Amino acid sequence: MRVVALRWAFRLVYGLPPRARRLLAGPEIHLDGQVLDLDLQLLGRMGALLESSDGGTLDQSVLAEQRRQADFAAEVAAEPGLADMATREVTLAGAGGPLAARLYVPASAPRSRGLLVYFHGGGFVVGSIAASDPLCRLVAAQSGVRVLSVEYRLAPEFPYPAALEDAIASFADVRARAPEFGADPELVAVGGDSAGANLALVVGHQASARPAFVLAMYPVTDAERSGGSRELFGTGFGLTAEYLEELERLYLPDGVPVDDTRGAILRSDDLSGMPPVYLSTAGFDPLRDEGEELAAKLRVHGVPIVARRFPGLVHGYASFTAVSAAARDATLDAASALRAGLSLVESRLRRVRGVDAAAS
């Protein structure tokens, strides 16, 4: 009942004319040559989803409640019209034991044998397949690609490298069992948002069998940073610099190991050999600079990459598609890139396999 009431409240507020929403949101916010999206500014003013998902102060004693709140916020913000998508609960092999996962099969999926292994955001501490459910439905519907969302282990109960090892193991398991999920092993991609984007990028870099494509939305790529976007957008835009530090402390209690930079992929000496990457950043995100630095480094190392900055958006924008048209457009851009990227790989496979068949 509470979910329904809150959804109606959001529809009422966001159904107002732009001028009325501007009055509620306050004057335009200009920073670093960018203008904050009106609807996300209004969301921040309402003190709603931004704080319940990635903002505020992390108190380990109430961590379970914060995780429940993240799931609840996702349910409130879910877009209408995607509830009927076919889903199936499955179990994958993780590094420390079985992992729960959820498979999303869009109506158009039979046309494609592609599959996206998806890792949710939440700073490696919060988040779940429930919290990422609306986003996975939207990506699957727009891309026409099956999406398999993975419930990897979270810190502080399981600090680094548990989440990363689960990501690598679950990707390998999905690839080995791809036909069970209606997919071609050569068309299995990885993706995620925020912390999950970090996991997807490292899987793309470290997996013994290379993913077909990597989709990374507003990734965390380094740790223990200061200055730059972490300072400029460190307060007032949902995800705060202080909260980031707390998340990093829980995930990497001893910092990034000197002999293992996988926890901070930006520090890797060699990124060559990675599959094609789609990487997006948000203009008002404390993580913006490190995401864009990684995009530049990938180019230097010869990795095919499409990099996008969405200047008016904030961290976590893919969770706010029901209230912000700009956030929805940015999320659909990622889904479209996934569809195009896997289509190119599929076309190449058909040519190669056709040649092989003719030769035999």
Nearest to 104 by CA among 124, 90, 91, 120: 90
Strand order in the sheet with 277-282: 86-93, 98-105, 146-150, 115-119, 188-193, 214-217, 277-282, 305-310
Catalytic residue among 128, 133, 315, 319: 315
149 assigned to active site: no
Evaluate whether 198 touches 217 at the Cβ level (below 8 Å): no
Q: How far apart are CA 302 and CA 295, in angstroms?
A: 11
Angle of helix 63-77 relative to helix 133-143, nearest 10 degrees? 40
315 assigned to active site: yes
285 assigned to active site: yes
The SS3 assignment for 19 reads helix
What stretch of H or E contains 300? helix 288-300
Q: How far apart are CA 159 and CA 64, in angstroms?
A: 16
Evaluate whether 105 touches 182 at the Cβ level (below 8 Å): yes
Evaluate whether 226 touches 304 at the Cβ level (below 8 Å): no
DSSP labels, 214-233: EEEES----SS--SHHHHHT
Catalytic residue among 37, 166, 193, 285: 285
Catalytic residue among 128, 170, 194, 319: 194
Residues involved in catalysis: 194, 285, 315
